[in-house]
Structure 1
Amino acid sequence: MTLRVYQPADESAVVALWRACDLVRPWNDPHKDIARKLLVQPELFLVAENAAGIVGTAMAGYDGHRGWLYYLAVAPGAQRLALGRRLVAEVERLLLAMGCPKINLQVRNTNVGVISFYEKLGFTADASASLGKRLIPD
């Protein structure tokens, strides 16, 4: 298993993985999300690859105040093999090297299995409400 920085040739495999992991929503065009990420800190967009191809992703960002983790995905057939833990650990390492003091992420509150996964990695629920406002419709 190799972790590496995303390359443009990975796009179709990455989007297929996100669809297989049920991460894609109608209001977020995954191709546009990738294009936007490549403009800002592309080194924080990681893929996990094995002989079968791309089996994991993690997209992160750091704004100088907080780090964020997005699009953590592991192919259904590769789950429960510590790949998600490995991707999160690498994101944490990269953000820490940038001086990032805290990492945030969002999980749909109905996704209890994923919440449990993150809790096992030391994440805790913050006492805050997540608000959003779309500036550019996809």
Structure 2
Amino acid sequence: MLVREFQSTDQRHVVRLWERCALTRPWNDPVLDIQRKLDGQPDWLLVAVDSTGILGSVMVGYDGHRDWINYLAVDPEHQRSGIGRELMLESERRLFDLGCPKINLQIRDDNHGAISFYESIGFSRDPVTSFGKRLIPDTPRESQDRG
């Protein structure tokens, strides 16, 4: 397995992966999320691949103060095989090299598997309340854009 930067030919496979992992939501268009990442920090969208294709992904965002992890996904058939851990180790290595002091991420309260995974690799709950405000509404694209 290799962790590498996202390539444009990966898009439909990554979107399918996110859908299989139940990471997509109607109010977030995954194609737009990928394009926004490529427009801002293209080398911070990583994929795990082997000879069969894309097995996992992670979107890393560093703003000079804190990092945010989004879209950590591992194909359900390959979960619990170390792929998620490898994606996070590569993310952490890159962030450490930049001097990033802390990683933040959000997990939905009912995603017990993700909570257990992150706790197993050293993350802990912060005593904070997460707020959000949508500035630009996403309109989900037609399925052929994902295909």
Asked whether the two chains share a fold, i.e. TM above 0.5, the reply is yes
Match of 2:18 in 1: 18
**What are the equivalent positions in structure 2 for 1:29-44 lying under 5 Å apart?**
29-44=29-44
Ranges in structure 2 where 5+ consecutive residues have no aligned partner? 139-147
TM-score with structure 1 setting the length: 0.98
Please give the per-residue CA displacement for 1:69-98, whole angstroms capped at 9, x wherever unaligned: 000000001111011000001000111111
CA distance in 1, matches of 2:36, 2:11: 13
- Cα drift, residue 42 of structure 1: 1.2
**What are the equivalent positions in structure 2 for 1:40-51 lying under 5 Å apart?**
40-51=40-51
TM-score with structure 2 setting the length: 0.92
Please give the per-residue CA displacement for 1:100-126, whole angstroms capped at 9, x wherever unaligned: 000000000111111010001110000
CA distance in 2, matches of 1:49, 1:113: 22
For the residue of structure 1 that corresponds to 2:40, the secondary structure is: coil
CA distance in 2, matches of 1:61, 1:23: 17
Runs of at least 4 residues off by over 2 Å? none
Aligned residue pairs, count: 138
For the residue of structure 2 that corresponds to 1:59, the secondary structure is: strand
Match of 2:7 in 1: 7
Greater RCO, CA 8 A, separation 6+: 2
C-alpha RMSD of matched pairs (Å): 0.6
Between the aligned residues of both structures, percent identity stands at 57
- Cα drift, residue 66 of structure 1: 0.2
Alpha carbons 1:44, 1:94 under 8 Å: kept: no
For the residue of structure 1 that corresponds to 2:84, the secondary structure is: helix
Match of 2:53 in 1: 53
CA distance in 1, matches of 2:126, 2:42: 27
- Cα drift, residue 52 of structure 1: 1.2
**What are the equivalent positions in structure 2 for 1:69-88 lying under 5 Å apart?**
69-88=69-88
Alpha carbons 1:48, 1:55 under 8 Å: kept: yes
- Cα drift, residue 39 of structure 1: 1.1
Ranges in structure 1 where 5+ consecutive residues have no aligned partner? none
CA distance in 1, matches of 2:135, 2:92: 29
